[in-house]
Structure 1
Amino acid sequence: MKIVVGGQIDKEEIAKIVSQLMNGKAEIEIRGDLDGAMGVKEGKYDYYVGACNTGGGGALAMALALLGSKSCSTISMPGQIKSEAFIREEVEKGKKAFGFTAQHKDEVLPVLLKAICEKEGV
């Protein structure tokens, strides 16, 4: 499995957290938003994660433009972290790109990555 980290904030830190949580179950790359979203569209990456201040703007703008809203989900925004059930449901629906606020990365990434691993059987 390949996960690309995009977004506007904390890419290095997010990639480090993803790598630790995935514990060798995925290849992690950091790319610009356009390259990351295009890579998902072309099948180079399985999932895209990104952070910004709103959870949907800079985190997902390119993914939304290239992949469409049916493939993208905002899993946190200022003052609101989506529930574990919501995040799991979005993964099960086949969403491939996930945006969140940088300050919520420690809360949402474990839930998101666990749901992805369960869906992918890794």
Structure 2
Amino acid sequence: MKFVVGGQIEKEAIAGEIRRLAGNKATSVTIMNDIEAAMAIKNGEADYYLGACNTGGGGALAMAIALIGLDQCATIGMPGKILSNDEIIAHVKAGKKAFGFTGQDIDIVLPVIINTILSQTIISR
């Protein structure tokens, strides 16, 4: 499974956490600028886009929304509000491909996103 890290901040931290959580199930984790990362999803070169910014939806997801559509994107966390685990799981299970959140929420939201993606992969095999 191929991950791209876009957004504006904390890219190294996000990539490291994806690698830690997904292990060898992540065949690639690539840090890109937000346009390149969104294009990788659009062109089928990556499976999931994860990005952070200070608002969780602006710089984290703006290019993904523009290039792959709002229906493929979810803002998981923003200042003062993080979606519940059930809401995050529902977005992953609904087939969303791009997830935005704030930098300070990485340790809270990434385990839920990655573990749900991994469980979906196991079920579909």
**TM-score over 0.5 (shorter chain):** yes
Aligned to 2:62: 61
Secondary structure, in 3 states, of the residue corresponding to 2:9?
coil
Aligned to 1:21: 21
2:110 maps to 1:109: yes
Tell me how far apart the structure 2 counterparts of residues 55 and 119 of structure 1 sit (CA, whole Å): 24
TM-score (norm 1): 0.98
Aligned to 1:94: 95
Between the two proteins, the alignment pairs up a number of residues equal to 122
- Residues 31-76 of structure 1 show CA distances to partners (whole Å, capped at 9, x for unaligned) of 0100000000000000000000000000000000001110000000
- Residues 57-106 of structure 1 show CA distances to partners (whole Å, capped at 9, x for unaligned) of 00000000001110000000001110110011101111000000000000
User: Aligned AA for 1:7?
Assistant: G
Aligned to 2:9: 9
Tell me how far apart the structure 2 counterparts of residues 101 and 63 of structure 1 sit (CA, whole Å): 16
Tell me how far apart the structure 2 counterparts of residues 60 and 120 of structure 1 sit (CA, whole Å): 24
Aligned to 1:39: 40
Deviation of 1:24 (Å): 1.4
Tell me how far apart the structure 1 counterparts of residues 49 and 69 of structure 2 sit (CA, whole Å): 13
CA-based RMSD of the aligned residues comes to 0.9
User: Aligned AA for 2:86?
Assistant: A
Structure 1: any 5+ residue segments left out of the alignment? none
Percent identity, aligned pairs only? 54
Deviation of 1:11 (Å): 0.4
Deviation of 1:112 (Å): 0.5
